[in-house]
Structure 1
Amino acid sequence: MQPTMEFLTTEEAIKVDAALLSSKEKFSTRLAIYALRCLKQIAAEKEISVSEVTSEQVSDWIKQDENIQQQLEVDSSFEMFFTRLVLSSLNPLKQIAIEEDKPIENLTVEQVIAWFEKESKIRQE
């Protein structure tokens, strides 16, 4: 059984809240940070790279995540929904990794937030 993980730490939440982002962009940023954390954990357990993580592995992770257990008991479709959300976060994470010229596994929270801020600024211009 995996250790209990928060969606975001208090420090991460403060950093996202301070970012110059809309509410929707902050949600996407929070999701990407959480996805990065759980994808890194899955990849480490399976001894693969983050980009090789499958939807089945994410689904198994979600089933084991104690933070999500209550939601799974209430809504059986939540597992598939959340799996898709986590996997969709791979797209921006891959883009960030390319721009930073480093593997996804080595990305930091600050780099994720900075990328979302940069993308937001580009969309606004």
Structure 2
Amino acid sequence: MDAESATPEFLTQEECLEIDKSMLPARDRFSARVAVYAMRSLKQVSAEEGVAIENLNAQQIGSWISRDPNLTAEKGFDGSFKGFFLQLVIASLRPLRAMSTEFDTPIESLTIPQVVAWFKKEADQRIATAEEAP
């Protein structure tokens, strides 16, 4: 197990600060945090399965989550959380795929600044659309 998978933190303090300094609306900061942690988790699943993140399926992701040593009952995580977390990780694939396409880079190579920039662009578009609505 590498040091990244051994940490019980979902995000490092540096990752949180990088996202927070973006001044994104709260929902977008949350989504960015989930995307970053999902990307980290998906990298581990990808490595174990020998499959690119883009080609992972829900069963492979679910199997890895069920074995994640950071999500044990001893650490306060039950089966319902694992199911919820599985849905978050799977849902994160959609924006991660969009980022991958937009930045012309594999999901595995996305950086936190790219994730933040993508969520900022999405938030700006959503806000502009809402302002245009009657």
TM-score (norm 2): 0.83
Written as runs of structure 1 = structure 2, the 5 A alignment for 1:1-125 is 3-5=5-7, 6-69=9-72, 70-73=75-78, 76-125=79-128
Per-residue CA shift, 1:31-51, capped at 9, x if unaligned? 000000110111111111101
One-letter identity of the residue aligned with 2:51: I
> How far apart are residue 8 of structure 1 and its match?
0.6
Contact map agreement 1:71 1:78 (CA 8 A) in 2: no
Measured after TM superposition, the shift of residue 84 of structure 1 is 0.7
Q: Cα RMSD over matched residues?
A: 1.6
CA distance in 2, matches of 1:66, 1:13: 22
- 2:69 aligns to what SS in structure 1? coil
Alpha-carbon distance in 2 for matches of 1:45, 1:94: 20
Q: Report percent identity of matched pairs.
A: 41
Would you say the 8 A contact 1:4–1:65 is kept in 2?
A: no
What residue is the counterpart of 2:131 in the other structure? none
How far apart are 1:95 and its partner, in Å?
0.4
Cα distance in structure 1, aligned partners of 2:31 and 2:106? 20
The structure having more radius of gyration, on CA atoms, is 2
With the length of structure 1 as denominator, give the TM-score of the two structures: 0.89
Q: Distance in 2 between matches of 1:11 and 1:114?
A: 17
SS of the residue 2:40 aligns to: helix
Aligned-pair CA distance for 1:52: 1.4
Alpha-carbon offset, residue 23 of structure 1:
1.1
Residue segments in structure 1 that go unaligned for 5+ positions in a row? none
- Unaligned residue ranges in structure 2 (runs of 5+): 129-134
